Chain A
């Protein structure tokens, strides 16, 4: 059990890293994009880049405030 937990922690650290909020934003914005494309028929190519870059800015702001 402990080994499984440490394997999970390793992969979490490997992919998600220091700020899980960034990962949540990426997943949420891709889900919203898929919803807009498939449910509303909107070609929402403009949604992902500003949201992802804003998430980066937010994460950086939090990191700098902490340091």
Chain B
């Protein structure tokens, strides 16, 4: 795989995570106070930097076959989580992820919380809200960067894709000072789920010793095949028209993805 598809795949996946982190940071900053929010964000970024510094070099020391087997399996499992949720959302069995309503929920919770000062942090609620949001979404970014980058021996290109996504989302968020509700997040998550699952299967099988027919070109068949099957499942499971039962709420799922 050349660097461009790698950068683009990581960019899209990380942009989705960055949009979710932005929603949480905005809710904390605009409702509570910016100083504690930035402190929480900085603390989360410091923890993420430590994780990258520890994991990045360690993972590249693994032999390529073992790396592909382990990382491929993890990526396939992780990608199937995304795809499962995306299909359930697209077929009406789970509520669509909506940044505007997620923002309103966070704002309501932030307004209801009492102010508490701890050490140098003036507003502990804003600090922890921002810290948890950035850390959780950041972990997913790191996971994607390290798995894709290490497998392609190009962590630098993957990191560029991730950094570009974070910068674009942050700059847009600062400009509009509102959650990025117009980003087609559910469609992007479907596409990212397809990519993660396809690459996970490809690398996992390679790690198990398989030689794909056509080498890397097999991905050109694998990715559309996974997308078609996922779309087929969506069509099969789509709720019929009429009064539908209430879909499972957003809060019943893993924090992001």
Contacts and interface: CB of A to CB of B under 8 A. Distances in A.
B201 A15 contact: no
Contacts of B211: 43, 45
Contacts of B76: 26, 52
B5 interface: no
A33 B248 contact: no
A45 to B, nearest CB: 5
Nearest to A35: B208
Interface residues of A, number: 33
B55 to A, nearest CB: 13
B201 to A, nearest CB: 5
Given A26-B80, A34-B209, A52-B76, A67 B201 contact: no
B205 A45 contact: yes
B138 to A, nearest CB: 12
Interface residues of B, number: 45
Contacts of A37: 208-210
Contacts of B209: 33-34, 37-38
B243 to A, nearest CB: 15
Interface of B (DSSP majority class): helix
Contacts of A1: none
Contacts of B80: 22, 26, 52, 55-56, 59
Contact of A53 (B81, B212, B226, B253): B226
Contacts of B233: 56-57, 60
Contacts of A30: 69, 72-73, 204-205, 207-208
Given A14-B254, A38-B209, A52-B201, A22 B88 contact: no
Given A18-B254, A33-B209, A63-B84, A56 B230 contact: yes
A52 B84 CA distance: 12
A5 to B, nearest CB: 18
B210 A43 contact: yes
Contact of B77 (A22, A38, A44, A47): A22
B208 A33 contact: yes
A53 to B, nearest CB: 5
Nearest to A53: B229
B38 interface: no
Interface of A: 13-19, 22-23, 26-27, 30-31, 33-34, 37-38, 43-45, 47-49, 52-53, 55-57, 59-60, 63-64, 67
